[in-house]
Structure 1
Amino acid sequence: MGRRIVERELTEEVALCLPSGRLNPDAVGWSRTPLHDTSGIGGPTSWGRNKRWEYWAVTTPTHIVSLTVSSLDYASVHGIMIHDIRSGRTVERGAVAPLSGSATLAARLGAGPARARTRSLSIDIDESAGGTRLRGRSADVAFDITAERPDGHEVLAVVVPWSQKRFQYTVKDVARPSVGWLELAGDRVELPVGESWAVLDHGRGRWPYRMQWNWGAASGTVDGRTIGLQLGGRWTDGTGSTENGVLVDGTLHKISEELGWDYDERDWLAPWHIHGTGVDLTFVPFWDHTSSTELVVFGSRGHQCFGHYSGWVDTTEGRIRVDALLGWAEDVRNRW
């Protein structure tokens, strides 16, 4: 079962880094809105260890869309993917460019656009008062989707401290209602209103060279309520921080517990079990999105399985039922 820990909720803005570039101890904790100034990430300090990215995934009853804009200092890694759940067809376009010139990433979340520009693809992420516009284009794929931001919508923002020199600030923003369209091989599809959801993974930090993690997320409606799951494991273990929470009608309920993740690495489509004292979820995948990249200094192997969550999560308002909530669970091992 899981292990409960004590975490500090932050309510005022704070700098992630000290002037020296080390972790600011006052920044360690979690918040319901993005409060951290991450402008200290990047530049010559700890060059090669700085990692910055924006990852979005959008789920609908018929399609899955994802996009990545990232800078790893010595390389920029970008990607676009559209998967048709009905036919099983997937079109994926990726680009790896030297250094960070192909990536535009704001110093902190919401402070400016994120963009990727390479010969093979373009991605634009733009903030507005009512949400975030996500646009991407490459051979055989295109999309223009707005992830709406309802009034009072909360996020889970967490600082994970491995040491004074190695740390990560992550914002996981789940259950964002989405509208717009996607194109797959020339066929345009309008996103069904009320059944389309976006999830953000915003990251700024300085990482160890090798790392493994689990991440799970899901969004949808259950019993007339909007539910968003945010689950993480392995990479946060032993740090005193977790990235676990459940969003209910826009309000975040923090889960301060290291959860157990049980799954079969010989059969990725077998049911997964994610559990703790206040969480008991079964995840049943229908598609394993595998990835593998091996370059000189960068390598990544991942299984991002898409499927449905069922079970329950305890909150301060009582036990929340989860039933057939569409999302994903992943196992990733990076050398970067």
Structure 2
Amino acid sequence: SISLLDFENGWEITNSPMSFMPLGKLRMPETSAAGDVSHGGKKHLISFKHAGPGRRVLNARMDNFGPGGAITAHIELFDEPEDSMVICTPFDKPGHFYYNQKINCMRAEGEVSYNGVKYVFDPSESFAVLDWGRGVWTYHNTWYWGSASYHVDGVPFGWNIGYGFGDCSAASENMLFYNGRAHKLSQVKFNIPGNEKDFMSPWTFTSDDGRFEMDFVPMLDRAACTDVKLIKSDQHQVFGRFTGKAVLDDGTVIEVRDFPGFAEKVENKW
């Protein structure tokens, strides 16, 4: 899947080629620390490759990406922080689990070209989150996930928040990341207006320990729904700006205003 989002002009394009029953042909690695992944066909290629410790190279090409024709991308992720979020979440169904790592606040450098426009990523201002996961999932599930990576007064800062995907009663995936170190949070609640259907009105985020309290003003909803009867993915990945406070483990309060990030609600059947 490739998505291109233009926040200034309020549009996005998502194109998701699908492979049915790959049966291990992708040879996905057992760990995020080693191994490469690629997926391609006659009209597209997407690859994630290791390029030394803490560095990944992302390459992508898709001939008929959108109305503007082909898209190409070459982006390098580096400056991997010391800490990241790793969790193995069980499901209620025996034998099912999700093993996941989120690496926030990686620097991003490179460029994307589409429709005669070149988008350049400057590592001094461009950050990325690497989402890596393996598992045996249940057929029907819904998850909530939010992430942000940027800086506060020149110090890399971000977070990973979420729930719903599996049984998180023993541990949550909610964490803050400040200057490369992780700070564990308790439970965080996504308050989506309109009975969780009005995605473009302001949201709020609250926590049971008071350490993550945010207002969220949406800018763009990357809404995509793939429905081929037995397989369905209904996604609302909403990008916007956070304003509020987060509290580190030592009690330090980090205040942010118009901090860029996203939050999503996704329902899957596959």
Do they fold alike, i.e. is TM over 0.5?
yes
Letter paired with 1:222: V
Assess if the C-alpha contact under 8 Å between 2:184 and 2:249 holds in 1: no
Q: What is residue 66 of structure 2 aligned with on the other side?
A: none
Q: Report how many residues are paired.
A: 256
Aligned 1:1-336 pairs, distance under 5 A: 79-100=1-22, 103-129=26-52, 130-139=54-63, 140-150=70-80, 152-163=81-92, 164-236=94-166, 238-255=168-185, 257-264=186-193, 265-276=196-207, 277=209, 278-317=211-250, 318-336=252-270
Letter paired with 2:37: A
Identify the structure with bigger relative contact order (alpha carbons < 8 Å, sequence gap 6+): 1
Q: Matches of 1:89 and 1:320 in 2, distance apart?
A: 31
* Percent pairwise identity: 26
Letter paired with 1:112: G
CA RMSD of aligned residues (A): 1.7
Q: What is residue 67 of structure 2 aligned with on the other side?
A: none
Q: Deviations over 1:312-335 (max 9, x none)?
A: 112223222222221110011111
SS of 1:103's equivalent in the other structure is coil
Assess if the C-alpha contact under 8 Å between 1:275 and 1:281 holds in 2: yes
Q: Deviations over 1:252-294 (max 9, x none)?
A: 1111x22221112342111111111221111111001101111
Gaps of 5+ in 2: 64-69
Superposition TM-score, scaled by structure 2 size: 0.89
Assess if the C-alpha contact under 8 Å between 2:91 and 2:167 holds in 1: no
Letter paired with 2:257: D
Deviation at 1:91, TM superposition (A): 3.2
SS of 1:219's equivalent in the other structure is strand
Letter paired with 1:214: Y
Q: Deviations over 1:78-113 (max 9, x none)?
A: x11111222234333221122216634212212210
Letter paired with 1:323: R
Assess if the C-alpha contact under 8 Å between 1:105 and 1:113 holds in 2: yes
Assess if the C-alpha contact under 8 Å between 2:243 and 2:259 holds in 1: yes
Deviation at 1:238, TM superposition (A): 4.8
